[in-house]
Structure 1
Amino acid sequence: MNLFRRPFFTFALSAFLAAPFAASAQSPAAHVHGQVRLDIVIDGPTIVIAMESPLDNFVGFERAPRTDAEKKTAEDAIAQLRAGAQLFKIDPAANCKLGPVTLRSSALGLGKNEEGAGEGHADLDGSFAFNCTNTAAAKFIDIDLFNAFKGPRQIEAQIAAPQGQFKRTLKRPATRLAWNK
């Protein structure tokens, strides 16, 4: 079954994710060092995590890498993010497997990133799709971004789940993002 043909999923994902990303493109205040924004949609057999972050959180700079050391740092960060199942550990009761991962950063030459910011304010955005056998059982995601990267200090999350819509904030060193009524 093609997930993106499912009308509810397409509508929910579009509506839920459009507002935060549109706001970030228009608002310079949305680019906050140390902060990662996550939008999480749980629908049918799928959990999608959309991430928005300053590039600095992952590599320590906000421009194209210039030295061999910076290139290595960027390559390592990209590899860690592509292994999304190590960074986003969904409640085992949901029985999820990582599907497509998409990363966007014009400074790193990844995808088409709609960054409104200029030099010195580059972002690294991504989406992580998980295919699950029991998403209704999911009650939390353990997020390992604080352990994997030095830059993130706070995660602002919005969650659209069968149980409702939730906003949560995680501050270093907390890792469990839980939702329920």
Structure 2
Amino acid sequence: MNPARLLSTFALPALLALPIAAIAQQAQHAHVHGQLRLDVAIDGPTVVIEMDSPLDNFIGFEHAPKTDAEKKTADDAVAQLRAADQLFRIDPSANCKLGPVTLRSAALGLGKADADAAEGHADLDGTFAFNCTNAQATKFIDIALLDAFKGIRQIDVQIAAPQGQFKRTLKRPTTRLTWSK
């Protein structure tokens, strides 16, 4: 086989796939104001909720707080998120108690965060763990994020539960996340 044909048969398609893969990866981590992503996993005795969100959804801006008013707004939002059992009310039949809460935001100096703030697109991400005596019994989670933070218009959720894997979208006035087969 001649070298030109070899290039067009194998190397060229591989090179063309690189930009498509990069675009797909960017789309997967799209930074869209008003939207928040949650991944819910029910595994063994735990319910873990991973959150990925633009910082703007919580505090109305995407930079490190500069004024006293901005600092208070950021501190209030962080305090609300740390009280995650008020924002994520898990089905009482699971008998869950809030465990570790980890928040990450480069702009707010929280945890080990992505460097998005340098690009003007700061995030506030979190991991909320709940320890349960009967996590497998969880059939719903009431999510109070839409009421607590007016900047959030839509919550896209992926769920991995004993019943299977599901995708849901919550918008006002719906705040109960349910799943079943």
TM range (shorter): 0.7 to 0.9
Of all paired residues, the percent bearing the same amino acid is 75
Corresponding position of 2:110: 110
Paired residue secondary structure (1:30):
coil
- Quote the Cα distance in structure 2 between the aligned partners of 1:24 and 1:153: 24
Contact 1:25–1:115 (8 Å) recurs in 2: no
Contact 1:26–1:116 (8 Å) recurs in 2: no
Deviating above 4 A after TM superposition, structure 1's stretches of 4 or more consecutive aligned residues are: 22-25
Cα distance change of structure 1 residues 23 and 139 upon mapping to structure 2, 3 Å threshold: farther
Matches within 5 A, 1:1-181: 26-27=26-27, 30-116=30-116, 118-181=118-181
**Alignment: residue pair count:** 160
Cα distance change of structure 1 residues 123 and 24 upon mapping to structure 2, 3 Å threshold: farther
Unaligned runs of 5+ in 2: 1-21
Paired residue secondary structure (1:106):
coil
Query: Given residue 63 of structure 1, which amino acid in structure 2 is its aligned partner?
Result: H
CA RMSD of aligned residues (A): 1.9
Query: Given residue 139 of structure 2, which amino acid in structure 1 is its aligned partner?
Result: K
Measure how far apart 1:172 and its partner are.
1.7
Measure how far apart 1:134 and its partner are.
0.7
TM-score, normalised relative to structure 1:
0.84
Measure how far apart 1:28 and its partner are.
8.3
Query: Given residue 129 of structure 1, which amino acid in structure 2 is its aligned partner?
Result: A
Measure how far apart 1:63 and its partner are.
0.6
Unaligned runs of 5+ in 1: 1-21
Measure how far apart 1:114 and its partner are.
1.9
Question: 1:109-167, CA deviations, whole angstroms, 9 ceiling, x for partnerless residues?
Answer: 00111244634210000000000011111100000001111100000000000000000
Query: Given residue 178 of structure 1, which amino acid in structure 2 is its aligned partner?
Result: T
Corresponding position of 1:11: none
Cα distance change of structure 1 residues 138 and 113 upon mapping to structure 2, 3 Å threshold: same
- Quote the Cα distance in structure 2 between the aligned partners of 1:41 and 1:114: 22
Contact 2:106–2:116 (8 Å) recurs in 1: no
- Quote the Cα distance in structure 2 between the aligned partners of 1:117 and 1:137: 39
Corresponding position of 1:14: none
Measure how far apart 1:27 and its partner are.
3.8
- Quote the Cα distance in structure 1 between the aligned partners of 2:23 and 2:90: 28
Deviates more, 1:113-122 or 1:100-109: 113-122
Paired residue secondary structure (2:118):
coil
- Quote the Cα distance in structure 1 between the aligned partners of 2:47 and 2:36: 18
